Amino acid sequence: MTRPSTLLIITLSLASAAACGRAQDPTAGNQPPPGEAWLSPERLAKAGIVVSPVGEQPVGNAVVTSGRVTFDDARVTHVFAPVNGRVVRVLAQPGQWVERGSALLAMASPDIGQAFSDFVKAKADLTAAQSEFQRQKELVDAHAGARRDLEAAEDNFRKAQAELDRAQQKVSLLAPGSDAQVTQDYLLRAPIAGEIIARNVSPGTEVQGQYSGGTAVELFTIGELDRVWILADIYEVDLPKIKKGATVTVKVIAYPDKGFQGTVDWISGALDPVSRTARVRCSILNPGRELRPEMYATVSILLGESRALGVPRSAVLRLGDRTVVFVEKGPAPGGLLRFEPRNVRIGDGGGDPVAVLEGLAAGDRVVTGGAIFLAGMI
């Protein structure tokens, strides 16, 4: 009578063991074990995950800081009107290339009329003073005039000559190359060759001149964007590491996947008393004109370069107190791909790519794009 009961107990024990075995089998039902993420190739592509093999490549230590894009001062000019007046015609438009001396706008300016009038009057006064001086000289030579009158005539002649020189210099400054006719027409010309980057004036605008003592408004910005400057702030502790001529990589939010290359061409000789940083200027070639003045930038200044196992900085994640990269571990059941986080030790530099000192071997396939997606799956 005991045999059926014993058989039942053994059967139940085997069933329980099988159930426990299925519960402990990490591959049952294509479920990944703890600490791994399994994805199909289709889901991998949709998530934008990029996998690349690790290899030896140039890696370098770098100082990473923030910066700002500015014009190259030698390749830009800010154009103001030297005289008061009203804008009659605007002759140059944003984006237009102008040569040095090209007309930018036409104005009607009473200051120009006054300058030409002063010049014409000075010429007439000089002629009269010269004639009087010559007449007094002839009288003195004929012993028919007083030397005092000759000296006074000579003095007036010298003053008239100085006044003419002053009036002529003013006309040459305000309207170089123009004739001596009295007119209020004035052409504002480009001081350098370049592109009209900005225009802040329209026909009919009343313009305040720089020479009138008022507050003049910038009318045009002319420059070249083929080369720009990046002004970066460097903390005192990093300042001894940076040398003139160091290689620089610049990234901006508008083009997150593109790095712009340049060099350090100037290091400030003093610190800012408030921020305790030194200004560093980097010269960047910008043939595509993607970099625009006043853009904010991330600046990596390379301190030195060597060859080592390297991965893009985007591949390195911080999970709690761990520094990890995700490594492809081969196929899983059901045609899935296995990924696991691998603890790594990276170099101290701020460059990109970053050197991996421990945790990876050459040939390991590492997730270089979309690693944060996998981090959310484990």
Q: So what's the pLDDT on residue 9?
A: 35
User: Which residue has 């997606």 as its token pair?
Assistant: 373
Q: So what's the pLDDT on residue 375?
A: 86
- The 8 Å CB, 24+ separation contacts for 111-114 are 111/83, 111/84, 111/85, 111/174, 111/209, 111/211, 111/212, 112/83, 112/85, 112/174, 112/175, 112/183, 112/184, 112/185, 112/186, 113/182, 113/183, 113/184
HSE-up of 103 (CA within 13 Å, CB side)? 13
In a domain, 21, yes or no: no
Confidence of residue 330 (pLDDT cuts 50, 70, 90): confident
Rounded to 10 degrees, what is the CA torsion of 362, 364, 370, 374? -140
Task: Identify whether residues 286 and 320 lie together within a single domain.
Answer: no
- Enclosing domain of residue 189: 77-109+184-222
In a domain, 20, yes or no: no
In percent, the amount of the chain with pLDDT more than 70 equals: 88
- Separation between Cα atoms, residue 239 and residue 234, nearest integer Å: 6
CATH of the domain at 82: 2.40.50.100
Task: Identify whether residues 241 and 293 lie together within a single domain.
Answer: yes
Confidence of residue 2 (pLDDT cuts 50, 70, 90): very low
Task: Identify whether residues 347 and 365 lie together within a single domain.
Answer: yes
- Separation between Cα atoms, residue 282 and residue 133, nearest integer Å: 63
Task: Identify whether residues 322 and 216 lie together within a single domain.
Answer: no
Task: Identify whether residues 259 and 271 lie together within a single domain.
Answer: yes
CATH of the domain at 371: 2.40.420.20
User: Which residue has 């994640």 as its token pair?
Assistant: 317
Of 271, 368, 301, the C-alpha closest to 328 is: 368
CATH of the domain at 142: 1.10.287.470
DSSP string, 7-66: HHHHHHHHHHHHHHHHHH-TTGGGPPPTT-EEE-HHHHHHTT-EEEE-EEEEEEEEEEEE
The most confident of 39-53, 272-286, 354-368, by mean pLDDT: 272-286
Q: What tokens were used for 46?
A: 């949709």
pLDDT at 251 over 70: yes
pLDDT at 109 over 70: yes
Task: Identify whether residues 209 and 161 lie together within a single domain.
Answer: no
Lowest mean pLDDT among 21-35, 92-106, 267-281, 290-304: 21-35
In a domain, 346, yes or no: yes
Q: So what's the pLDDT on residue 32?
A: 78
Q: So what's the pLDDT on residue 13?
A: 36
Helices (H), the chain: 2-24, 41-46, 110-141, 147-174, 371-375
Total domains in the chain come to 4
Q: So what's the pLDDT on residue 80?
A: 92
Task: Identify whether residues 218 and 255 lie together within a single domain.
Answer: no
Q: What tokens were used for 123?
A: 């010429």
Residue, of 144 and 129, whose pLDDT is higher: 129
Q: What angle do CA 157, 160, 164 make, to 5 degrees?
A: 140
What's the pTM? 0.58
Q: Amino acid identity, residue 145? A: G
Task: Identify whether residues 104 and 197 lie together within a single domain.
Answer: yes
HEC profile of 325-354? EEEEEEEEHHHEEEEEEEECEECCCCCCCE
In a domain, 6, yes or no: no
Average pLDDT for 165-194 = 81
Confidence of residue 335 (pLDDT cuts 50, 70, 90): confident
Residues 374 and 49: beta-carbon distance below 8 Å = yes
Residue, of 261 and 28, whose pLDDT is higher: 261
User: Which residue has 């003013």 as its token pair?
Assistant: 170
Q: So what's the pLDDT on residue 66?
A: 92
Q: So what's the pLDDT on residue 229?
A: 95
| pLDDT tens track for 297-327 | 999 898 876 777 888 888 899 888 889 999 9
Q: So what's the pLDDT on residue 351?
A: 64
